[in-house]
Structure 1
Amino acid sequence: MVIIADVRHTKVEARKAEAWKKAMINFPPIAEEEAFVGPLIVSAVMGNHPVRRVYVDTGSACEIMYEHCFLKLRHALRKTKKNISCPLVGFTGERSWSLGEITLHVTVGTIPMIRTEMLTFIIVRSDSPYNVILGRTAMRKMGIIPSPMHGMVMFSTPYGIGCIKADSQEEYCCAHVEVTEDKPKGELPNKVEGPEEKLFINDKHPDQHVLIGRQLPTEFKRKLRSLLKKHKEVFAWTLADMTGVPRQITIDGEKFDTQHKLNTRPHVEPIKQKRRSLAPERSKVACEQVADLVKAGILREVKYQSCVANPVMVRKHDGGWRMCVDFTNINKACPKDCYPLPKID
């Protein structure tokens, strides 16, 4: 009978200990003009690391930690990462593969109204203004109830109802989306402004620029701009500026041959690839680029070809086209280097 009484007492204590998790959570009424506009960006403590820019996303089925945040954790925590090979499927169906997963203690709220749980994060390599995304799994486990209209999240704790207000200063970089006009097919949308800043140093070519770090001090930017404008002739602004490398150079009266020759296998005959048709847009751009290279003296016409390779048009990040050449046959005809370059990080 004593054992039965102890078991019943333990169950009653457990029910009392869990009673605070069933506390009722109510949000106060709010006028429409006072409603919060922006995503729910909060702060939390993860593995004893204070982490900002934590996005509470009700549409995410898992917890995400971006690689740039993971790399800032202590080495002891990074060593606990587990390698997994599960794909993440986005809203539009695109797939991205994770770099692994890590389990951390996550604490939200302010003392004494805090809630701590163990959460597993999937590590993803992607450019994002956020450090971490808390999905529905974390909300269910930590009892988080979000209210985008109030700009806050509430959760139950042993000492009452905890509350976290969204960081309003993150609204601009995380939530501001400009409405752009519909672009023609094939034209890429404008990219989000990155950590680089455009610098125009040649008045004769106002459409060309160089990139410098946006985080540089103002005085350093001014000196750097003055230095680049002073030595702007070192840049090739047009194809005609690419004068090439002389076939011979003289150093201390001694001549050195600078010509390059492919080391091909003697038994391999030159291959003439069959002509591949390009789409009208790509063909037009390729013809324009070839005409510019011929005009600058970089290319010349060859009437009797021994080896022919097709051009390949590759889309650039700014929406333009880059003309490349399919050198797969030439690569097969050349022996591989037994001493390749070391891995450069």
Structure 2
Amino acid sequence: MTLKFGDPDLEGLKFLQDDPLVITPIIGNCHVMRVLVDNGAFVDILFHNTFIRMGYNDSQLTPSDAPIYGFNHMECKVKGAIQLAIIIGEEPREATQMLNFQVVKAASTYNAIIGRTGIHTFKVVPSTYHMVLKFPTRNSVGEARGDHKMAHSFYVITLRPDRTGGQPAEDLVPIPFDPLDPEKVTYIGASLDKPLKDRIKTFLQENNDAFTWTVAKMPGIDPNLITHRLKVDPTRKAVKKKKRTYAPDRLEAIKKEVEKLLEARFIEEVQFPEWLANPVMVKKANGKWMMCIDFTDLNDACTKNCYPYQGLIP
């Protein structure tokens, strides 16, 4: 039985990108969307929120000591393991295997990840270029096509700020820098030993000149050292959006934010822009406005990295 790929496998793909291979298999009698096939992962992962939505509970997990590390070399919390049946492909060329999923409690745009363990169990050969994976079955070669449109949108979803806000991993205690200015403060873990806590506090206060409290006082980076450029497809036409009208409170917030960025020299005025997008105002949990820019058109014209490091979310 030969597993091969060719031009017919490219039919239906509107454009070619370096998108991840995302499929919708049946896991434990549930059709689970957004399952990433990743030969860079060693184990098969089922994220805890998906595990709960599938109708399972933590009492059904078996203890697991399998260490899982992210790109930042931080160990992820494994709740336990569970063995579930997974079906890929369609009748009459489908395959069923039992996989041992590590249930991980972490935020992810995916519901599950099939790693090298699952890939080898199914004897799967994935091709991200053709957006399909192929595998042997009793009835010739089976295949599971990736959802190209869904995978293409994950780049934007992954980089979208978390609207709910992150929570600290432990209780924190404030370390003031200036007794006369209560806003100049940082935080350290409350569970630290007192001698270590005192040493950190002393060190931070002795080096308070390394901290800045306004963007205007942040030093810039010499362009000779590093320069960021957008890799825009030269065949794409630049998009200039029409000017929006804003409510008075939003307009005032936009003016203040623009003045702050101009003062810090983070932005500069351009008389004849090629691309033009409107600000999008989002109200934060504290009631203040946050100014974002709608870069949808520009993002669509740029080459994508579909495996972004989530720790670098702007």
Normalization by structure 1: what TM-score?
A: 0.45
> More relative contact order in 1 or in 2 (CA 8 Å, sep 6+)?
2
Computing the radius of gyration over CA atoms, which structure comes out larger, 1 or 2? 1
